[in-house]
Amino acid sequence: MRKIQFFDTTLRDGEQTPGVNFNTKEKVQIALQLEKWGIDVIEAGFPIASPGDFEAVQSIAQQVKKMTVTGLARCQKKDIDRAHEALKDAVDPQIHVFLATSDVHMHYKLKMTREEVLASIKEHVSYARSLFEKVQFSPEDASRTEKDFLLEAVQTAIDAGATIINIPDTVGYSNPTEYGKIFKSLIENIRSDREIIFSSHCHDDLGMATANALAAIENGANRVEGTINGIGERAGNTALEEVALALAIRKDFYQCETPIILSETKRTSELISRLSGIPVPKNKAVVGDNAFAHESGIHQDGVLKNPETYEIITPTMVGVTQNSLPLGKLSGRHAFNAKLEELGYQFTDADSKEAFKRFKRLADKKKQITDKDLVALLADQSREETEAYKLAEVQVQYSSNGYQGAIVSIINEENETKVASKIGSGSIQAIYNTIDELFQQAPELTEYEIQALTGGEDAQAEVRVTLRDTQTKKEFRGIGVDFDVLHASAKAYVKASNQIASNR
Ligand code: KIV
Ligand code: ZN
């Protein structure tokens, strides 16, 4: 059977989702979970883009043992050098070089002629090949590139030393028939004395990213690129978990093997959702909470008689557990550490000590600590470590008739505290006005969502906010989890405010 390589770009294309900013520690945590999930190649970032991206690619390259680690580079020597520097400690490094080849991109964006584009591909892929054994080339906007020119660009990259050719449907314009044909035609027409891996890279603007990726595989692609939960620019990328399950459940049709450990799927999805701040829709294929819920009587009856009547994927297959061993007040360090390991966390001693302290505080208030509670607690901890200011205290004065008042204090690493007080028409507005005063910022609150993190009367509240910085026009997300709705709201807002401040 053909083996399909899985290439994850959650940390690069996925991080291009508005409002999503992972810190280095979170990126390493995600990388290690992706390794556990079975990913072959991780695109850890775009090293020239910022010092933060460089640092993350470098840290991942140093810590990942089994996956190939790649970094993105434009057709520019300085990009390739920066990627080389960031990836120098990787066990198996790869570079990903790209240049647009569609007429609209070449004419308006690059202001380059076809000849200049071909010359640049030749020069920069050759240069990349002088530094890397594995070179991947992407003709950006390939699906809207004139077919003969696409072949010419791809052949130029192969002749210059690329052994992996990725065909991006950059704007999510293609459809399965058309996208599949591009692969078939390129594979039939390229000349090479080395094995060339063809890779698919799709965006979901027309809702066809998964179908397009599968069409590419049917037509000879041996690598698929995408992100977890399909996060990414605009409508996002191919959701890798969907491709993995489609190839597994329909092995009879696709006749392909994948490296993916399916039972790690749900856990991987939850980690990305929490750290990105982007909730997984309940009806999302494969990982949504309702993916296995059978509501209608006819379906329930059928499933009870034989699950195969309506259930093509079982919850256990993707690692949906019943949380059979929730922790509680009496759970000790050993049980706690075992749970962290089971959840895929690899902590230093200091980090796990701090996590255990937080867990004990939570266990004082909540009878059963579920996996969801723990993942939220640990995400809070990792984010707070890199925040300039943490929420220290919130006081609200409530009046049923008139304005509400809030006093909020925040504290930094050096134990310096700032306190302010403001009013608002509601309690949350009063708190948010106060936090704006503390950070000396006035962002626009574009989203505010609240839900119970788990079931049960003692469930914690989870608040997600999105703030739009009116100066930079960028969006930032924050999640706050607490027993108290006002406190959770304040935490989420402080998190997003910290990101605005550090981004400026
Ligand atoms: O969508 C795209 O074209 C990309 C390239 C950089 C591969 O993400
Ligand atoms: Zn992309």
The reply to whether ligand 1 has any atom less than 6 angstroms from the CB of 478 is no
Position in ligand 1 atom list of the atom nearest CA 171 = 1
Position in ligand 1 atom list of the atom nearest CA 72 = 6
C-alpha 170 – ligand 1 centre gap (Å) = 6
| C-alpha–C-alpha distance, residues 72 and 124, integer Å | 13
Determine the pLDDT at residue 323.
Answer: 57
Sheet holding 461-468, edge to edge: 444-452, 461-468, 475-482
Determine the pLDDT at residue 322.
Answer: 63
Pocket test for ligand 1, best of 11, 16, 150, 201 (most atoms within 8 A of CB): 201
| C-alpha–C-alpha distance, residues 35 and 29, integer Å | 10
Query: Residues whose CB is under 5 A from ligand 2 (ion)?
Result: 13
- The secondary element (H helix, E strand) that includes residue 430 is helix 427-439
Position in ligand 1 atom list of the atom nearest CA 237 = 1
Determine the pLDDT at residue 376.
Answer: 85
Q: Which of 330, 357, 329, 327 is nearest to 342 (CA)?
A: 327
| 465: DSSP letter | E
Position in ligand 1 atom list of the atom nearest CA 138 = 7
C-alpha 383 – ligand 2 centre gap (Å) = 26
Q: What is the pLDDT along the chain (504 residues), one digit of tens a residue?
A: 999 999 999 999 999 998 898 989 889 999 999 999 999 999 999 999 999 999 999 999 999 999 999 999 999 999 999 999 999 999 999 999 999 999 999 999 999 999 999 999 999 999 999 999 999 999 999 999 999 999 999 999 999 999 999 999 999 999 999 999 999 999 999 999 999 999 999 999 999 999 999 999 999 999 999 999 999 999 999 999 999 999 999 999 999 999 999 999 999 999 999 889 899 999 999 999 888 877 777 777 787 888 888 889 988 999 987 655 678 888 888 888 888 887 767 778 888 899 999 999 999 988 888 888 888 888 888 777 778 999 999 999 999 988 999 999 999 999 999 999 999 999 999 999 999 999 999 999 999 999 998 888 888 999 999 999 999 999 999 999 998 999 999 999 999 999 999 888
C-alpha 170 – ligand 2 centre gap (Å) = 5
Determine the pLDDT at residue 309.
Answer: 86
| C-alpha–C-alpha distance, residues 139 and 99, integer Å | 5
Strand ranges in 228-322 using DSSP code E only, listed in sequence order: 256-257
Record the tokens describing residue 322, joined without a space.
């019943």
> pTM score > 0.85 for this model?
yes
Q: Is 407 helix (H, G, I), strand (E, B) or coil?
A: strand
Pocket test for ligand 1, best of 7, 8, 13 (most atoms within 8 A of CB): 13
Q: Where are the alpha helices (DSSP H) in 346-386?
A: 349-365, 371-385
Q: Nearest bound ligand to CA 145?
A: 1
| C-alpha–C-alpha distance, residues 468 and 451, integer Å | 22
Q: Are 485 and 464 in contact (CB under 8 A)?
A: no
Determine the pLDDT at residue 34.
Answer: 97
C-alpha 285 – ligand 1 centre gap (Å) = 24
| C-alpha–C-alpha distance, residues 15 and 149, integer Å | 31
Position in ligand 1 atom list of the atom nearest CA 12 = 8
> Going by CA atoms, what residue is nearest to atom 2 of ligand 1?
170
